[in-house]
Structure 1
C-alpha cells in the first residue's frame, strides 16, 4: 500500500470514529428557537449536551462569528449572557455547537421588542405644485399601524393629491402638487402598537408661492450676442476710428 493510500485509509478511520462518537449526541438551547426581550434588558441563553458518555466542549457564535467563552463555561453545559439589548441585536442568530463537530448544533434567534423613534415637531416649507415628502420613522418590533392627520382630520389619500409610501422602517406622505388652500397645515404621523401604545410626530407644513427661477442661460447668451455685435461693429469701422487718434 502506497503512502497516499495509507493517508486516505487513516482519514477514513478517523472519520468513522468521529461519526460513532457523535452518533446520537444532541445540543439543546434554552430558550428554543426564539428569545424575546425588551430593549435594554439582559437575556441568558443556555446550552447543554445530551446523550454523550463523555464531556463535550461547546462553543457559541453570533451570526457565525465565534464568541470567546471562559474555560469553565465550555464543558457539556454553557451559558451566554447578552446584556443591554439594542436594536442591532434584533434578528441576530446565536448558535451553540460541539467544538469537535460543528454540524451538531442548535440555534436561537433574538427578538428584541422596541418602539419607533417618533416624537417632537418638524417645520417643512414647500413651493406650490412642487412635490413634497413628509416622513417619520416607524421601525419597531412588533410592527406598528400608521395613520396620518391634517389639522386633526384624517388625510384623504384619494381626493386630496396624496401618495402614501411605507416600508418596515419609514412611512412617507407625499404631496404630489401642494396648494396652499388644500395642503398647508399641521400633519400628524401616528403609530399604534399593542405593546407600546400610541406615538405621534407633528409636521408643520407651509406652502409658499412658486418662485420664478432667474433665466440665467438666456441672459448670458444675450450678453454674448450683444458683445459680439459691438465687437464686429468696431472692427468694421476700425479704419475711421483709428484716424480720430492721429
Structure 2
C-alpha cells in the first residue's frame, strides 16, 4: 500500500508539471547594441540621425525587447520588438548629450545593455551685454556658456588679458558659467570686457560693456525731513497771516 501511495503521489506531481510548465530560464541570454556586448558611450555631433540596434543572443525562442530613454519607455511598433529592435534618434541635438538609452529583455529586465550619448559641440555663449553702474557700487559680469568637450575660459579687458587686483576682482567658474565681480567700481573700470571660451571644436567670445556713471548726490534723510518741516511750517504761517489780514480789512 505504501508503494501504491507513493506512485500515485509521483503521478500527481508529474501531471501538475505538465499543466504548469516552468518558464524558460534567461540564463545565458545576452544582448548587444550596435555590435557592442557591454555598456558603452557613443560620440556624435548635433544634426545627423543615429540608429541603435539591439539583438538577443543564445535564445531558443522568440524574445520581446524593450527600449528606454532615461527612465521613460520608448514606444515600439509590433514588428520591432522580437529578437531584434531598432530605434532612431533624429535629429540629434545638444540636449541629447548625456542621455542613456537602454535595451532590456521584457521577461527579465536584469538582462540589459545601455548606451550613453556623448554629443559634442562648440561653445555657445550668452549674457547681458551692457551694464551701467554708479561709481563706488559693485558690478558683476556673468558669461553663460555651453560646450562639449569642456572648454577653457578667460576674461579680457579692452582686448588685453585682465589683470586681477586683489580685494577688487573675484572670479567664479563652473562647467557652464564664468562670472567676474568687481568691487566698488571706478572710472578706470570703464571698458569692454570679453569672455573668451576655447575648446577643441572651436572658440567663442561674448563682449560686455561696463559703463561707470558719476556718483549721484546723496542727501541725508535728517536734512530732507527738516527741510520739509520748515517749508510746511512756513506755508502754514503764511496762510494764518493772510487770514488775519483778511479779517482786519473786512
How high is the TM-score relative to the length of structure 2? 0.76
Please give the per-residue CA displacement for 1:148-184, whole angstroms capped at 9, x wherever unaligned.
1111211122458211111111111111221112x11
Note the 1:233-244 alignment, pairs <5 A.
none
Note the 1:163-182 alignment, pairs <5 A.
163-181=170-188
Q: Offset at 1:119?
A: 7.2
Structure index of larger Rg: 2
- Asked if 1:21 corresponds to 2:25, the answer is yes
| SS of corresponding position for 1:177 | coil
- Match of residue 5 from structure 1: none
CA spacing shift, 1:109–1:214, aligned 2, 3 Å: farther
- Match of residue 3 from structure 1: none
1:76 to 65, 83, 92: 83
Q: Offset at 1:83?
A: 0.6
Paired with 1:122 and 1:230, the residues of 2 have a C-alpha distance of 50
CA spacing shift, 1:25–1:219, aligned 2, 3 Å: same
| SS of corresponding position for 1:68 | coil
Note the 1:28-177 alignment, pairs <5 A.
28-30=32-34, 32-118=39-125, 122-159=129-166, 161-177=168-184
| SS of corresponding position for 1:69 | coil
Paired with 2:151 and 2:230, the residues of 1 have a C-alpha distance of 62
| SS of corresponding position for 2:124 | coil
> Alpha carbon RMSD of aligned pairs, Å?
3.3
1:203 to 186, 205, 208: 208
What stretches of structure 1 move > 6 A for 4+ residues in a row?
224-231
Q: Could you tell me which runs of 5 or more consecutive residues in structure 2 were left unpaired when the two chains were aligned.
A: 1-15, 237-243
Q: Could you tell me which runs of 5 or more consecutive residues in structure 1 were left unpaired when the two chains were aligned.
A: 1-9, 232-239
Paired with 2:28 and 2:233, the residues of 1 have a C-alpha distance of 94
- How many residues are treated as equivalent by the alignment? 225
CA spacing shift, 1:226–1:126, aligned 2, 3 Å: closer
Paired with 2:42 and 2:227, the residues of 1 have a C-alpha distance of 72
Q: Which range is displaced more, 101-110 or 113-122?
A: 113-122
Conservation of the 8 A alpha-carbon contact between 2:141 and 2:180: yes
Paired with 1:54 and 1:66, the residues of 2 have a C-alpha distance of 24
